[in-house]
Amino acid sequence: MRKLAIPVIVIALALMLMSLFVIPENERGIVIRFGRVLKDNTETDMSRIYGPGLHFKMPLFDRVQTLDARIQTMDGQGDRFVTSEKKDVIINTYVKWKIEDFGQYYLATGGGNALTAQALLERKVTDVLRSEIGSREIKQIVSGPRNKDILPDSDSDEVTTEAAKQALEIDGERDKVQLNVLQDTQESAMKDLGVRVVDFRIKKINLPDEISDSIYRRMRAERESVARKHRSQGREKAEVIRAQAELEVATVLAEADKTARVTRGEADAQAAKIYSGAYSKDPEFYSFLRSLDAYKTSFSDKSDILVLDPSSDFFRYMNDANGQMSK
């Protein structure tokens, strides 16, 4: 009996250990029996979900599959879409999702494969997004809703700012696109995959490289044209300013020269008048002073030699202090 008791105890312990399983935190478990997911009851057709903690199962017949119950992020790669204008855009998106029906998720993804689930969900999101993008223009996709703060008051009939004009011209529908994709994918994802789409966002919108390069070249050419225009206008204004400055300088110099000539002429006239008045009062004395000045100038250097007739008028006051010419 003792020999049989030991194997029985070992088998019992093994069966007990095989019947226990632990579900970690942030995960949920489902039990697979003979290739089928256990249900809570046949009426609701809901899978039996095991929360975190210690649980029991039938050994040898049941297999436990744990699935992540947290919200997961699917950060998709940029994909090419065509707008209603037949223009290509590259759009990057991300999706927040979590498992809602663990049994349906397990069956739809081939055993709870997360990569398969993301591939199927990404296909659904891309199909809906492609339809939404194909019915809108680029300016509607890249713009948000109208900004009510920059619109004119109700009492004013005119738009006074450029920003308000643009707001009235463009009715952005990016938020509407995101909402439509979220609503359309929520129903199909729950039905087909057993997951609930929590959120969908457009992360980035770009133009293809070949289109971006042509746009950048065109923008660069336009900016260079504006720069050349500004430089030309600047040179024109500089020439006008320089011509005005030169004209003002010439005018000032001409006025100064005119004033100087008038002043010099008035001074010469006054000096001549003074000389004339002095000469008319005493012509002899005036002649004497003029002769002294001439002597002073002529004999300032000892090496000077003058060859003159001694009886000439130049030596008049040298020969006679009274200025009488000798006979």
Distances from the Cα of 182 to the Cαs of 201, 254, 297, 324, in angstroms? 9, 84, 116, 135
Same domain, 277 and 288: no
pLDDT given for residue 161 in this prediction: 46
For the record, the structure tokens of 268 come out as 């010469």
Residue at 78 is within a domain: yes
Residue-level pLDDT at 259: 93
In this structure, are 46 and 149 located in the same domain? no
DSSP track, 171-202: ---HHHHHHHHHHHHHHHHHHHT-EEEEEEEE
Tokens of 194: 């057993």
Report the pLDDT value the prediction gives residue 96, as an integer from 0 to 100.
93
Statement to judge: residues 113 and 193 lie in one domain: yes
What is the chain's Cα-based Rg? Answer: 56
What residues contact 40, with CB distance under 8 A and at least 6 apart? 46, 47, 48
On whether both 15 and 120 belong to a single domain, the answer is no
In a shared domain, residues 55 and 150 = no
pLDDT confidence of residue 168: 43
Low-confidence residues in the chain, pLDDT < 50:
147-170, 323, 325-327
In a domain, 134, yes or no: yes
Contact 182, 199 (CB under 8 A): yes
Answer whether residue 216 is part of any domain. no
Cα 21 to Cα 16: distance, rounded to the nearest angstrom: 10
At residue 320, the pLDDT reads 61
Q: Does residue 91 contact residue 129 with C-beta atoms inside 8 Å?
A: yes
Strands 27-33 and 36-37: antiparallel
Domain closes at, from 22, 42, 68: 68
pLDDT tens string 184-223: 999 889 988 889 999 999 988 888 877 767 777 888 888 9
Q: Do 7 and 130 fall into the same domain?
A: no
Same domain assignment for residues 63 and 93: no
What confidence score (pLDDT) does residue 98 get? Answer: 92
Residue keyed to tokens 């003979």: 34
Q: Looking at 68, 91, 121, which one is the last position of a domain?
A: 68
> Is 219 a member of any domain?
no
The pLDDT value given to residue 310: 62
E strands in 34-87: 36-37, 53-56, 62-68, 72-75, 79-82
**Are 98 and 67 a contacting pair, CB within 8 Å?**
no
One domain for residues 149 and 262: no
Residues 273 and 305 in one domain: no
Asked if residue 327 is part of any domain, the answer here is no
pLDDT at position 121 is 92
Pair (187, 301) in one structural domain: no
pLDDT tens-digit map of 120-161 = 999 999 999 999 999 888 888 887 665 444 444 434 444 444
Q: Which residues, including other chains, have CB under 8 Å from residue 204's CB and lie 6 or more apart?
A: 78, 91, 92
**pLDDT for residue 173:** 82
Contacts of 82 (CB under 8 A, 6+ apart): 88, 89, 130, 133, 134
Number of domains in the chain: 4
| CATH at residue 110 | 3.30.479.30
Non-local CB neighbours of 106 within 8 Å, separated by 6+ positions: 30, 32, 37, 47, 65, 67, 112, 194
- Residue range(s) defining the domain that contains residue 42: 2-68
What is the rounded distance in angstroms from the CA atom of residue 181 to the CA atom of residue 79?
Answer: 15
